[in-house]
Amino acid sequence: MKYDYVVVGGGTAGSVLATRLSEDAATTVLLLEAGPATGPDVMAVPPAWPALLGSAVDWNFHTTPQHGLLGTQLPYPRGRTLGGSSSINAMAHLRGHPAGYDAWGVDGWRFDDLLPYFRRSETAAAGRDPKYRGTDGPMRVGPPPVRHPLAGAALAAVRERGFAETPDLNGAEPEGATWLEMNIADGARQSAADAYLRPVLGRPNLTVVTGALVTRLVLAGTHCTGVEYRVGDSPDSAEAERSVVLTAGAVGSPHLLMLSGIGDPAELEKAGVTPRVALPGVGRNLQDHPLTGVVYSASRTMPDGANNHSDLVAAVRTAAGLEAPDLQLLFLDIPYFRPPLAGPTSGFTIGFSHLYPHSRGSVTLASADPTVAPIVDPALLRDPRDVAAMLAGLRLARHIGTAAALDPWRDQEVLPGPAATSPAQEEEFLRRSTGPYFHASGTCALGTGSAAVVDPTLAVHGVTGLRIADASVLPTLIGANTNATVLAVAEKAVDLLLGREAAR
């Protein structure tokens, strides 16, 4: 079958692309998603998101042994259903500080260039500044209407320790503590598929095929003409008359490029794939935010959370003179820690994450067989600068955790525990407890240098008829959770494909 556009991956970006491109009734669009059309009922329940990790709607990737984490091998969840990771994540809707986007140094991709697309994607809560916030976009986002009582105490602790507040981290003051904005609508998760795709599934020019594993890009020389895929055991193919657009994410998009012979020739040959286009940056530059937290047992009964377990968030600086906040603090109404650590059954967590990590990992081929998962190495805490930033975060979290405002809730510190007082003990805790924040980015980086994979129009270097529009194109991580930025990237990709400018 022939279509104007073939979109590979029905996650956050794919939902945007398929919906926007099919707004023109004369344009035909095929969206291919490897996972099912829908997931378990619990997917709609905001506080149940931890149960989705490792479920049937997760790709269930795993990392390589992480040398920065004492050789630990960790799960690496990615959504595998319509809506992708926006269907299984913790629903945070945050933009990074403008300085993070401006640091990319790519014309057309600075924060002011992306702002119209952030606004286009959302309907923000009432009272937000329309200069920065959207008023009629598909995603309905805002702070929790009903907050966990712990969150109020956490905000009082932040004030007690002298940290700044902001009315809107996504607005004119992107620094300080505030109520976390989430994509929760009428008490239920609103994934990108819920917001964009499902309302338009009846369009006759839009075809959505789920359970469709794309196995290869079809190349005629260096021109991408379409894709091959299979639904169950049945092979099929589709031609793209205008473009194939990869929206399979920071793991899936480089994986498919490499399976198709686009990447580092030596690495491709090692995996048994014939090189077609030499593009050594494919799969390199994997980045993720490192995440851990200080866990306290509770001195009183903890009410159940109604939202995503973290109603309060803060973006702060670990040192004066930094251009932007470099640490995110999360105040969770549950004990959150990764196995094999042991923590309390009832408690709360002050989580922290270094927002601009220096460590760089990779996604590489394990096999030429498309059903074999790629090798994923996020290289967490490999760079000593990341360890130093996380040590500063640990000390800030503990400082807030001992504030008098939390006395009514706090029993005792369990992780790392009061015995961990020396720098060596603190670092050992970080290496035992840190995990990925599941913000995989950078593996098909945007730019013009030798390591870049896509140009400023999101076209793959050296290949015509092929674009990429997902978190893999972010050259460096932005200073926040990534889903809101992926929405903006996808909205901008639509304008690039259609040759139009954003309304500012």
User: Does residue 67 have an active-site annotation?
Assistant: no
Question: Phi, psi (5° rounding) for residue 154?
Answer: -65, -40
What angle in degrees, to the nearest 10, is found between the helix axes of 111-121 and 483-498? 100
User: What are the pLDDT tens digits along the chain (504 aa)?
Assistant: 999 999 999 999 999 999 999 999 999 999 999 999 999 999 999 999 999 999 999 999 999 999 999 999 999 999 999 999 999 999 999 999 999 999 999 999 999 999 999 999 999 999 999 999 999 999 999 999 999 999 999 999 999 999 999 999 999 999 999 999 999 999 999 999 999 999 999 999 999 999 999 999 999 999 999 999 999 999 999 999 999 999 999 999 999 999 999 999 999 999 999 999 999 999 999 999 999 999 999 999 999 999 999 999 999 999 999 999 999 999 999 999 999 999 999 999 999 999 999 999 999 999 999 999 999 999 999 999 999 999 999 999 999 999 999 999 999 999 999 999 999 999 999 999 999 999 999 999 999 999 999 999 999 999 999 999 999 999 999 999 999 999 999 999 999 999 987 665
Calculate the CA 2 to chain-centre distance. Answer: 32
Alpha helices (H) in 132-284, listed in sequence order:
149-160, 192, 249-259, 265-270
Q: Residue 263 carries which DSSP code?
A: E
Q: What is the pLDDT of residue 305?
A: 93
Q: Residue 63 carries which DSSP code?
A: B
Label the pairing between strands 262-263 and 277-278.
Answer: parallel
**Token output for 232:** 């169950």
Q: What is the pLDDT of residue 503?
A: 61
| End-to-end CA, the chain | 38
Q: Is the peptide bond preceding residue 416 cis, with omega within 30 degrees of 0?
A: yes
**Token output for 492:** 């901008």
Q: What is the pLDDT of residue 501?
A: 76
Instruction: Print the SS3 string covering 99-162.
Output: HHHHCCCCCCCCHHHHHHHHHHHEEECCCCCCCCCCECCCEEEECCCCCCHHHHHHHHHHHHCC
3-state secondary structure of 331: strand
| Rounded CA separation 313/310 (Å) | 7
Cβ neighbours of residue 366 closer than 8 Å, sequence gap 6 or more: 271, 372, 373, 374, 375
111 touches 98 (CB < 8 A) = yes
**Token output for 363:** 């996604």
206 touches 32 (CB < 8 A) = no
Q: How far is the CA of 409 from the CAs of 185, 334, 348, 351, in angstroms? A: 29, 12, 9, 16
Q: Which CATH class is domain 145-179+290-354+382-433?
A: alpha beta
Other CB atoms closer than 10 Å to residue 24's CB: what's the count? 12
| Rounded CA separation 293/348 (Å) | 10
Residue listed under structure tokens 């990925």:
436
Backbone torsion region of residue 184, taken as left when φ is above 0, otherwise alpha when ψ lies between -120 and 50, otherwise beta: beta
| Rounded CA separation 16/495 (Å) | 12
Length in residues, the chain: 504
Task: Write out the E strands in 340-447.
Answer: 347-354, 361-364, 375-377, 410-415, 435-436
Selected catalytic residue, list 255, 289, 439, 461: 439
| Rounded CA separation 264/35 (Å) | 28
From the list 497, 76, 467, 5, the residue with the least C-alpha distance to 246 is 467
| Rounded CA separation 380/399 (Å) | 25
Identify the H or E element spanning 266.
helix 265-270
Rg (CA), the chain: 22
